[in-house]
Amino acid sequence: MVRHLERAGYIKTDPVRQAMMDVRREDFMPESMRYASYADRPQDIGQGQTISAPHMVAIMVEAMRAKEGQR
């Protein structure tokens, strides 16, 4: 998934690349939906909520210009 997002131009910096590698999307999804954790589309996580598509997460994190150690 990360390589795909890099090739598509969504991931531009090493810190964002590393963050996308380190955070396990399946930890934020119901067990029944974990098979789709890395599909590049929003996923229903229950209670009328969704987890953003990976490319949108990359866009948002790149836009934050977060520094190392920030959470």
Confidence category of residue 6, pLDDT binned at 50, 70, 90: very high
Pick the more confident residue, 66 or 29: 29
The pLDDT assigned to 38 comes to: 93
Task: Please list the active-site residues.
Answer: 52
Pick the more confident residue, 21 or 68: 21
Residue 64 and residue 60: Cα distance in Å, rounded?
6
